[in-house]
Amino acid sequence: MNKLIPFLVACVILIACKENQTTKESVDATPSELSADTLAIYFINDQHGQLDNFAKIKQIVDAERATNERVLLVCAGDIFSGNPIVDQYEEKGYPMIDVMNKTGFDISVIGNHEFDYGPENLKNRMLQAEFEWVCANVDMNESGVPQPDAYKTLTVGDISVTFLGLVETFGKPGAIIPATHPWRVQDMSFERHTAILERYQDLKREEASDVFIALTHLGTSSDMELPNLIPSLDAVIGGHSHQVVGELVNGTPVVQAGSYLSLLGRLELILSEGKITNKSHAFIDLEEYGEKDEALSEIINEYNNAPQFEEVVGFTAAYLDRSEIGCFYTSAIKEYLNVDASFQNSGGIRSDIDQGDITTLEIYNMDPFNNGSVIFTLTAGEVEDFFIQTGAGFHISGIDFVVESQNDLTIYDEAGNAFAEDDLITIGINDYIPAVHDTYFPLEKAAIQELTTAETIIEYLKTINSTVDAEGCENYFRL
C-alpha cells in the first residue's frame, strides 16, 4: 500500500468547497491511498497569462507522477490575455505555451480568449504546444488555424480517458461566436454547444473509454446542465466563470478552479473492474503553497525580467478602482484623439491602478486585449438610438445624457449645450465595441488609428498629462 505524496498530506492547504456540499464523497479533500486504479486529474482554468505559479504546479504534479502513473494535467481554457509579459511578447503568447509545455500539460480546451491575438498567432501557439487541443463546436475553415479535435482519448497507465472540448458562443448579440473580438474570428464558424451534444451521447462506448470527461469553457450554469444532457459523462471540468466550483450533478462531479492561477484543482476517480467506485476533489491554494520546481521558476523569472514594462509614464495620488479608471480611460482617449467623446466597455478594464507612479505594465494590465483605436462620426440621433435600442452601458467622457423617458434622451456637450438630432459627434473608442455593435458602428464609417488603446493611453500620459486625477469619479451610463 503506497501513501500519497507528503505535500498533499502535510504541506498544502486544501479547499473542499463545503458551501456546495452535495454528498460526502463530493467534498472529500483528503486524497485516497493509491490503489491500482487511482486516476488523478489536476486542472486549471482562466489563467489569463499568469506564469508565476506554474513552477509550483510542476512540483506538485511531478511529485505525484513519481508514485502514480495515472496522472493527467489539463486546462479548461482562457490561457491568454491578462499579462503583458505574455500578451505583448514579440511572438504573442509564446511564454505561456512554453511554460505549459515545460509544466507537463496533457490537454487543453480552446477558450474564448485564445482567439484574442488573431488567427495567425493562434495557429503558431497551437503548433508550438506539446499538448493536445480539443473543441467540438468550432470549424476553423480557411482561417489557417489548425482544426482541433472535437475529442481526444488519452491513455495513462491502463486507464483510457476521453475528453470532449466545448467553448462558449455568446460573444455578440445575434451571432454565434465566442466572447472575443469579432473581427478575429470572422473566418471561422461556431455552433452552440447544445446543438452538437447529440453526436457525442455514445462517445464513451464508441471510444471504449474507462472515463468520459467534458473539458469545457462554457461557464458554470452550462456546465451544471451537461450531466443531464450527456448522462454518460463521468465528470465536467470547466472554466469561463472564474468561480470555485465543486458539486455533484446526478452523481457527476462538476468542477472549476477559480482564475488567475490562484488554485490548482485535483479530481480523483477510483476505478475497480472498469467502473468508477469513488469520486472526490480538492483545491490546492497555490498562493500558500511553498515548494516549486526551481528550473522552471528560473525560466519564468527570465520571462518576467522585462524592463520595458517598468517605464514610469504617469502618476496618481490615489488608488484607482475600475470605475475611476473608466473616467481616466475615456478622458485620455478623448483628449489624445481630439474627439468630442469617448466610450469604454467595463469588461475591457481588467485591473485597478495603485497609488503612485504608473508604469507601462500597469496600463497593459488594465487594458490587455490589443484592441485598436478607432474614430466614428455619428449624429446625436444615431448615438441616442444606440443607447436606447441596445441597452448597453459604457463609461463615457465628453458628453452627458439626460433621460427624458425610456425612449427619449438628450445629449449635452461639456459646456452644457444640447445637441440637435442631426449634429455630428466624433467618438473615440476601442475597435471591439464597433465590431460587436456593427449595426450602429458600420466599418465603412471607421477612421482606424495607428495605436492600440493601451498605446494611446501611454502616449497621452507621456505627451499631454502625466498626472491622473480621477478619485471619486463615476461616468458610467446605461439607460
Domains and CATH numbers, the chain: 6-304 (3.60.21.10), 307-477 (3.90.780.10)
pLDDT at 449 over 90: yes
E strand or H helix at 424, and its extent?
A: strand 424-430
pLDDT band at 29 (very low <50, low <70, confident <90, very high): very low
Which strands sit side by side in the sheet containing 467-468, from one edge to the other? 356-359, 312-316, 467-468
Place of cell 473539458: 215
C-alpha angle 211/213/216, rounded to 5°?
A: 170
CB 79 within 8 A of CB 96: yes
| pLDDT range class, residue 377, cuts 50, 70, 90 | very high
Q: In Å, what is the CA distance from 131 to each residue of 15, 95, 107, 151, 195? A: 28, 15, 5, 13, 27
Whole-angstrom Cα distance, residue 167 to residue 255? 16
- Read out DSSP for 426-458? EEEEETHHHHHSTTTS-GGG-EEEEEEHHHHHH
In angstroms, the CA 190 to CA 365 distance is 29
Alpha carbons within 13 angstroms on the beta-carbon side of residue 5 total 16
CB 106 within 8 A of CB 143: no
pLDDT value for 22:
32
pLDDT value of position 15: 46
Question: What is the strand order of the sheet 151-156 is part of?
Answer: 151-156, 159-167, 211-217, 235-237, 252-257, 244-249
CA dihedral over 313, 318, 321, 325, signed as positive or negative: negative
Ramachandran sector of residue 46 (left: φ over 0; alpha: ψ -120 to 50; beta: rest): left
Q: Determine the Cα–Cα distance for residues 268 and 271; give it in Å rounded to an integer.
A: 10
Band the pLDDT of 57: cuts 50, 70, 90.
Answer: very high
pLDDT of residue 17: 42
Q: CA–CA distance from 199 to each of 82, 150, 192, 195, 203 (Å)? A: 35, 11, 13, 9, 8
Amino acid at the residue 129: A
Say if residues 369 and 381 touch (Cβ distance below 8 Å): no
22-26, 287-291, 379-383: least confidently modelled range: 22-26
pLDDT greater than 80 at residue 243: yes
Which cell goes with 5? 505524496
Looking at every residue in the chain, the average pLDDT score rounds to 93
The predicted model scores a pTM of 0.89
CB 89 within 8 A of CB 305: no
> Residue 8 above 50 pLDDT?
no
- Looking up cell 515548494 gives 291
Averaged pLDDT for residues 191-198: 98
Average pLDDT over residues 234-262: 98
3-state SS, residue 132: strand
In sequence order, the 6+-apart residues with CB closer than 8 A to the CB of 375 are 337, 339, 426, 427, 428, 446, 447, 449
Cβ within 8 Å of residue 275, ≥6 positions away? none
Interatomic CA distance for residues 248 and 359, integer angstroms: 45
pLDDT-derived band of residue 406, with 50, 70 and 90 as boundaries?
confident
Q: Grid coordinates representing 410?
A: 438628450
> What is the per-residue pLDDT for 5?
42
- How many Å is the maximal CA-CA distance in the chain? 81
pLDDT score of 35 more than 90: no
